[in-house]
């Protein structure tokens, strides 16, 4: 028999569902490596009209034509506020950023983009114009003095790159806005991300995507990192799922404002090449380290994500073997 609160509970959960379905989400940097796949995944989940994609320029056709799309510079507060008010946005995913390698070439531009876009979003949330924020951090918050293996959530944070400094400062501001103003801001420290659908741009971990394209088109690849340089990595499908899961999590243990370590696999160019060779035996790799070697040397080779596992049940699905199999299978069919 139904208890006397049953009907009330059902109508409350329907109310929540309706609310969620009618709440709109804005993605800044929707045409980038993560933004593209995140936009497509969120549209599939909540409906095309609910997800407003935006970027400083147009990206892939299916992304631009597949739902509302706005040309938007995340550092322009006025333009950002207009889009938020126009669409009655509830949640913002701020995926626009300059990554580690490009940021070393354009330090001031990187600082301006990475920090001012974040301040704009945090301040609009403080003014209650939006309710929830996702902001991506990175393994780049760690530095050369941090323990390299299994780096804990709370560790020495002395980044030696412009990108890392901007991410560490951003983490601090997210925590501050959460503590001072009660903002619902959630964050992940992404490792290097590997995807067959979208290309990365300007990162140090980009080799782990380029290598697949070159292995299939030319049968060889010249790595800009040394053979033995191991870094934390993740297949994009896991990263998108983690992003949606942390945003959907109703767990009381979830620490809002904290950027969580997230782990799936760790490998070096040599180890990745060996795995590719198990599918393409004639594939050859050579090494010509450039300025990105210093950046990679300053980062952990693997991170400990026990807190993410405990607080919001995070678990990866893809290891190195599975990721390589998937990447080659999809790219062969391109
Ligand atoms: C980069 O290489 O800059 C990024 C990152 C690890 O945040 N992929």
Which one of the listed residues 87, 163, 207, 221 is annotated catalytic? Answer: 163
* 8 Å CB contact between 90 and 23: yes
Mutate to test the pocket of ligand 1, among 103, 105, 140, 236 (most ligand atoms within 8 A of CB): 140
Nearest to residue 194, comparing CAs of 312, 42, 322, 282?
A: 322
Distance separating alpha carbons of residues 174 and 170, to the nearest angstrom = 6
Nearest-atom number in ligand 1 for the CA of 299 is: 6
pLDDT for 20 equals 55
Nearest to residue 89, comparing CAs of 21, 184, 23?
A: 23
Distance separating alpha carbons of residues 63 and 68, to the nearest angstrom = 9
The torsion angles phi and psi of 278, rounded to 5 degrees, stand at -70, -15
* Domains 1-96 and 137-332 agree in fold: yes
Distance separating alpha carbons of residues 295 and 231, to the nearest angstrom = 11
At the topology level of CATH, where does 137-332 sit?
Rossmann fold (3.40.50)
pLDDT for 155 equals 96
Beta-carbon contacts of 29 under 8 Å, excluding residues fewer than 6 positions away, are: 35, 54, 55, 74, 94, 95, 96, 97
205 C-alpha vs ligand 1 centroid, how far in Å?
A: 6
Nearest to residue 143, comparing CAs of 116, 161, 130?
A: 161
Per residue of the chain (334 residues), give pLDDT as tens.
Answer: 344 444 444 444 444 444 455 689 999 999 999 999 999 999 999 999 999 999 999 988 889 999 999 999 999 999 999 999 999 999 999 999 999 999 999 999 999 999 999 999 999 999 999 999 999 999 999 999 999 999 999 999 999 999 999 999 999 999 999 999 999 999 999 999 999 999 888 999 999 999 999 999 999 999 999 999 999 999 999 999 999 999 999 999 999 999 999 999 999 999 999 999 999 999 999 999 999 999 999 999 999 999 999 999 999 999 999 999 999 999 998 7
> Which residue puts its alpha carbon closest to atom 1 of ligand 1?
203
Give residue limits of the domains in the chain. 1-96, 137-332
* 8 Å CB contact between 191 and 234: yes
Active site (annotated) includes residue 260 = no
pLDDT for 23 equals 86
Nearest-atom number in ligand 1 for the CA of 101 is: 3
Nearest-atom number in ligand 1 for the CA of 100 is: 3
> Which H or E run contains 317?
none
Which CATH architecture best describes the domain 1-96? 3-Layer(aba) Sandwich (3.40)
pLDDT for 59 equals 87
């Amino acid at each position: 028999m139904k208890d006397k609160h049953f009907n009330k509970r059902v109508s409350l959960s329907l109310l929540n569902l309706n609310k969620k379905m009618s709440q709109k989400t804005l993605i800044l940097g929707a045409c980038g490596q993560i933004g593209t796949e995140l936009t497509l995944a969120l549209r599939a989940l909540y409906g095309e009209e609910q997800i407003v994609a935006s970027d400083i320029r147009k990206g892939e056709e299916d992304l631009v034509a597949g739902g509302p799309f706005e040309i938007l510079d995340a550092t322009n507060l006025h333009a950002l506020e207009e889009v938020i008010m126009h669409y009655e946005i509830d949640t913002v995913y701020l995926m626009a950023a300059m990554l580690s390698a490009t940021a070393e070439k354009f330090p001031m531009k990187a600082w301006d983009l990475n920090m001012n876009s974040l301040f704009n979003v945090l301040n609009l949330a403080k003014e209650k114009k939006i309710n929830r924020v996702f902001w991506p951090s990175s393994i780049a918050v760690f530095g050369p003095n941090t323990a390299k293996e299994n780096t804990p959530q709370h560790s020495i944070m002395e980044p030696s790159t412009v990108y890392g400094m901007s991410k560490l400062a951003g983490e601090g501001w997210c925590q501050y806005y959460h503590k001072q103003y009660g903002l619902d801001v959630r964050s992940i420290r992404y490792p290097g991300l590997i995807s067959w659908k979208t290309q990365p741009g300007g990162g140090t971990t980009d080799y782990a995507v380029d290598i697949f394209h070159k292995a299939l088109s030319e049968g060889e690849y010249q790595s800009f990192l040394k053979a033995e340089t191991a870094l934390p990595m993740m297949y994009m499908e896991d990263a998108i799922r983690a992003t949606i899961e942390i945003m959907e999590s109703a767990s009381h243990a979830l620490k809002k404002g904290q950027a969580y370590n997230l782990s799936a696999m760790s490998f070096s160019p040599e180890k990745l090449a060996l795995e590719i060779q198990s599918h393409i035996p004639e594939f050859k790799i050579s090494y010509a380290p450039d300025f990105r070697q210093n950046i990679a040397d300053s980062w952990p080779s693997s991170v400990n994500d026990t807190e993410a596992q405990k607080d919001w049940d995070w678990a990866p699905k893809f290891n190195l073997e599975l990721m390589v199999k998937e990447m080659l299978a999809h790219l062969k069919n391109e």
